[in-house]
Structure 1
Amino acid sequence: MQQLARRLDNLGTETAFSVAQAAAAWKAKGNRVYPFHLGDINIPTAPNIIEAMNRAIADGYTGYCPGPGIPQLREALAEDIGTRRGMELTPDNVVVMTGGKPVITKFLQTVMDPGQEVLYPNPGFPIYESQIEYLGGTAVPYRYLPTEDGFAIDLDQVRAVITPNTAAIIYNDLQNPISAESTAAEREAIAQLAQEHDLWVLSDEAYFETRYEGVSSSIAALPGMAERTVILYTFSKKFAMTGSRLGCAVAPREVAEVFSTLNTNDESCTTHYVQWAGVEALRGTQEPVAQMLDVLRERRDAACELLNGVPGMDVAVPQSTFYLFPDVTEAMERLGYSAVGDFASAALYETGVSFCTREHFGRRQPGEDRQYIRLAYSGIDVEDIGEGLSSLRQWIETA
């Protein structure tokens, strides 16, 4: 019998989709489900963006286009991303891709040889670990420590795990799943380590503008970092364009040239007419972006207030992203659960509330003794947030 490639054994997945399948199966049986499991957005893409896409189709922009992206979009991205981060960028620094995920893969293909180590956040977006190992690297996790304001990177651990074989570090400020945001000191510490050890940096900035208070900063804008940092940018979150699959890498010119070649090898180009929608998203009215942030802020506030009223649950109020990562250790103890996966399954069947757990975001590290779940409020209206979390509270209160 023919054998498949051995490297497939190292390919992981975004396991939140398995939670979605369980929720869909429960709903199909006639049960009410409150979907906190996926970071999709139930707010439509803005009409002006849709109109620009349809107009591009009608105008015949349905064929091939340049591998690194159409000039109009690269120019708009360089201007917008550079202005918001205080960086001087040109279109030569920008390579358009089919969303944010390809930036992860192409970054690793470009800077990591098989056998080299790459540091990545854990808990973190599971595709980091999956792609490092699939491409033959060694995935080295670094952890976060709970604080009064949320979570902070364990910088001592980061320092301890860097070796001469470390090629890069993946850094996700405004982090999925835990909504952690670096302080200026933490960001500068990561930058200093990258320069001391001559590391490449992938700065995942998918949620750079999905924030409710404060101002975002990029590690790439720090002195000495632009030449070693690749920024991951996506239209999915800011513009509610998750299904359009549009994003880009911002990189040093020599790295951008490699990415362009990889684009040509992998998919030829990003969908032509979708890129024109991206131009409109950046150049057109930003009122829909502000309106969506108002909706998400209302959802955040409602969810945090309700979660902190559930016996045995505790969550800090994040300033960005659309995720909550509450500590549920005592709540599980009240119900007699020791495995967070069992707790999540029971919550779905008893209350209809569907969510991911810490285990969906990387292998648990030694010394972790607290239990966490992740709730995304991007795809659930505030009324359903109230109903669902009230049901969850009642279930735990009556244990």
Structure 2
Amino acid sequence: MRIADRIARLGTETAFAVAARAAAHKAAGHEVFPFHLGDMNIPTPQNVMDAACGAMRAGKTGYCPSPGIPELRDALAGDVSAARGVDYSMENVAIQPGGKPVIGKFIMACMNPGEEVLYPNPGYPIYESQIEYHGGVAVPYRYVRDDAGFHIDLDYLESLVTPRTKAIIINDLQNPLGAECTPQERERLAYLAMRHNLSVLLDEAYFDIRYGGKSSSLAAIPGMQARSIILYTFSKKFAMTGWRLGAAIGPKAVIDIIAKLNVNDESCSNHFIQHGALEGLTGDQSGPRAILETLKERRDIAVDLLNSMPGVSCPRPEATFYLFPEVTELMARKGFGADYAAFAEDVLVRTGVSLCTRLHFGRPLPGEKQRFVRLAYSGIGADEIRKGLLALKAYAEA
């Protein structure tokens, strides 16, 4: 069969290749500590599971409205509005089979072929993939690190804007960095978006995975709600990664387009799962609180151990479940220089620690000299974190 030319532009998540290598290493009889993939090994709250099962038994197993069931759209609009200080109604919500589809549907709705979209690098690789697949020009912006963590290089970002720039993707509470914008950064990003009339995708998948302080949204800045689509997912807050449920939230004109794309792509999201998500939003909240407590314990163990290793330095993020430690000195001392692949393989073989590197989150940008790896602690328990990172510490000290 003839394959369409555009398939050559379609990227992937190379972290899954790391998962395959880790599985092969484990199948060979070795112990593996899976820090590589941001899945969750924490159970979905019981009330969510009960509600979904009850809806299934009640016959909620057929088609439902393409934008989602009204009860869930209404509840989600209220929840997001209250948490972010904005004003949405159910007409501003289109339920999706996960958060990820929002990326492609935003691109299809807001970008023409040949137009430029700014996206974060390091960042979630599906941004670049979807921009290029749909015929756009993916333009990466960068981050800089200080003692507090990672921040968008705003001067560099603004220098990238051209008359062809039509949209920007902002992942506040960021994968893989664990970074979040300061209020000053959000104000400047809002100014930039309004000055250049940019459509904005706000990927807020980790808005509710927060251990201290309070999350804020760029959509709350005057003028931004009208030009922004929020990517929402139930995967993180409710440990529902495999349930595949999320939402696009934004101006009605764009949400109507996304709902029409729903009709074309998947007809509708799973009916009975939406009833489980509704219970998650409106019912007992002890489950999400317990998930956060578990993740916070894991974060603290991991950060403390990483910062005890020679040649490793790791900020302590207040959100997400990712760590992005610098390993420049360690890689140099071990003789790997800039060879991420050889370093990751050596770490896996000698310690059992399976991790991703900076290269799994976008092509390196000009002038990059520091080396980083990413560890996810959402899918590995506290005891395994200790055991794996103590092995990594011994490796670093050897």
Offset, 1:3:
2.4
CA-to-partner distance for each residue in 1:226-271, whole Å, 9 max, x for gaps? 1100000000000000000000010101001101100001100001
1:144-159 matches, cutoff 5 A: 144-159=143-158
Query: Structure 1 residue 88: deviation in Å?
Result: 1.1
Q: d(CA) in 1 for partners of 2:340 and 2:312?
A: 13
Aligned to 1:354: 354
1:32 aligns with 2:40: no
- Separation in 2, partners of 1:158, 1:334: 33
SS for the counterpart of 2:315 is coil
Question: Is 2:258 the partner of 1:259?
Answer: yes
Amino acid at match of 2:357: T
Q: Which amino acid in 2 is paired with 1:223?
A: P
Letter in 2 for 1:343: F
* Residue number in structure 2 paired with 1:334: 333
**Structure 1 residues 50-129: aligned runs within 5 Å:** 50-129=49-128
One-letter amino acid matched to 2:227: R
Q: Secondary structure at the match of 1:237?
A: coil
Residue type matched to 1:239 in 2? F
Give 1:322's aligned residue: 321
Q: Distance in 2 between matches of 1:128 and 1:213?
A: 28
Summarize deviations over 1:78-132 as a string: whole Å, max 9, x none.
0100110011110000000001111000000000000000000000000000000
> What is the number of residues matched between the two proteins?
397
What is the one-letter code of the residue matched to 2:383? E
Residues 334, 396 of structure 1: 8 Å contact kept: no
Residue 390 of structure 1 aligns with which residue?
A: 390
Please, what TM-score do these two structures have when normalized by structure 1?
0.99
Indicate conservation of the 8 Å contact 1:20/1:38, yes or no.
yes
Structure 1: how far apart are the matches of 2:134 and 2:55?
37
TM-score, length of structure 2 as denominator length: 0.99
Give me the identity figure in percent. Answer: 56
Deviations 1:287-339 (Å, cap 9, x if unpaired)? 11111111111110000000001110001110000000000000111111121
Question: Partner residue of 2:141?
Answer: 142
Deviations 1:143-164 (A, max 9, x none): 0001111111000111100001
| SS of residue in 1 equivalent to 2:236 | helix
- 1:271 maps to 270
SS at match of 2:304: helix
Amino acid at match of 2:240: M
Q: SS of the counterpart of 2:313?
A: coil
In the alignment, the residues of structure 2 paired with residue 59 and residue 236 of structure 1 have an alpha-carbon distance, to the nearest angstrom, of: 24
Question: Root-mean-square deviation (CA), in Å?
Answer: 0.6
**Corresponding residue for 2:243?**
244
Which residues of structure 2 form unaligned runs of 5+?
Answer: none
Tell me, yes or no, if structure 1 residue 47 matches structure 2 residue 46: yes
Query: How do 1:165-314 and structure 2 match up within 5 A?
Result: 165-314=164-313
Shift in Å, 1:176: 0.1
Q: Is the 8 A contact 1:231 1:250 kept in 2?
A: yes
- What 5-or-longer segments of structure 1 have no aligned partner? none
